[in-house]
Amino acid sequence: MEFVFTEEQAMIGETARAFFAENATSERTRKAMAATGQDAGIDRELWTAFCQELGLSGIGIPESAGGAGLGLVELAIIAEAAGAQVAALPMLGSLALSAQALAAGGSAEQQAAHLPGLLSGAVIAGYVHDAGITANGSSLTGSAGFAAHGSSAQLFVVTSNTGAWLVPADAPCVTVTPLTTMDQTRPYARVTLAAAQGEPLADPAAAIAAAHRAGFVAVAAEALGGAQAALDRTVAYARERVQFGRPIGSFQAYKHRLADLMIEIEQARSAVYWAACAVDEGSEEAALAVHAAKSFAADTFFLCAGNMIQLHGGIGFTWEHDAHLYFKRARAIQSMLGSGEWHREQVATMILGEVA
Tell me, what's the pLDDT at 73? 95
Average pLDDT over residues 26-40: 91
Q: State yes or no: pLDDT of 42 exceeds 70.
A: yes
**Residue 186: C-alpha distances to residues 39, 77, 134, 323 (Å):** 11, 20, 27, 16
Nearest 5°: the CA angle 188, 304, 59 is: 55
pLDDT in tens, 105-134: 999 999 999 999 999 999 999 999 988 899
Per-residue pLDDT tens for 135-164? 988 899 999 888 999 999 999 999 998 899
Least confident segment among 161-170, 171-180, 346-355: 346-355
pTM of the model: 0.93
Domain that holds residue 325: 206-352
Lowest mean pLDDT among 7-16, 85-94, 253-262: 253-262
Identify the burial level of 157 via C-beta atoms within 10 angstroms of its C-beta, where 0-12 means exposed, 13-18 middle and 19 or more buried. Answer: buried
Count of structural domains, the chain: 1
Q: What is the CATH number of the domain that holds 270?
A: 1.20.140.10
For residue 54, being part of any structural domain is answered with no
Query: Mean pLDDT across the chain, nearest whole number?
Result: 91
Instruction: Say yes or no to pLDDT of 69 above 90.
Output: no
User: What's the mean pLDDT in 321-345?
Assistant: 92
- Whether residue 37 lies inside any domain: the answer is no
Nearest to 56 by CA among 79, 35, 28: 79
- Asked if residue 283 belongs to a domain, the reply is yes
In a domain, 172, yes or no: no
Give DSSP secondary structure letters for 183-252. -TTS-EEEEEEEEEE-EE-S-HHHHHHHHHHHHHHHHHHHHHHHHHHHHHHHHHHHHH-EETTEEGGGSH
Is residue 270 very low, low, confident or very high in pLDDT (cuts 50, 70, 90)?
A: very high
Query: What confidence score (pLDDT) does residue 355 get?
Result: 55
Strands 188-197 and 246-247: unpaired
Task: Express each pLDDT in 179-236 by its tens digit.
Answer: 988 889 999 999 999 999 999 999 999 999 999 999 999 999 999 999 999 999 998 8
Q: How far is residue 279's CA from residue 4's CA, in Å, rounded to a whole number?
A: 16
pLDDT at position 2 over 80:
no
Asked if residue 256 belongs to a domain, the reply is yes
Q: Assign 1 a pLDDT band (cuts: 50, 70, 90).
A: low
Does some domain include residue 336?
Answer: yes
Residue 345 lies in a domain: yes
Residue 250 pLDDT:
63
Identify whether 39 is part of a domain. no
Residue 54 pLDDT level (bands cut at 50, 70, 90): confident
Contacts of 325 (CB under 8 A, 6+ apart): 26, 29, 86, 185
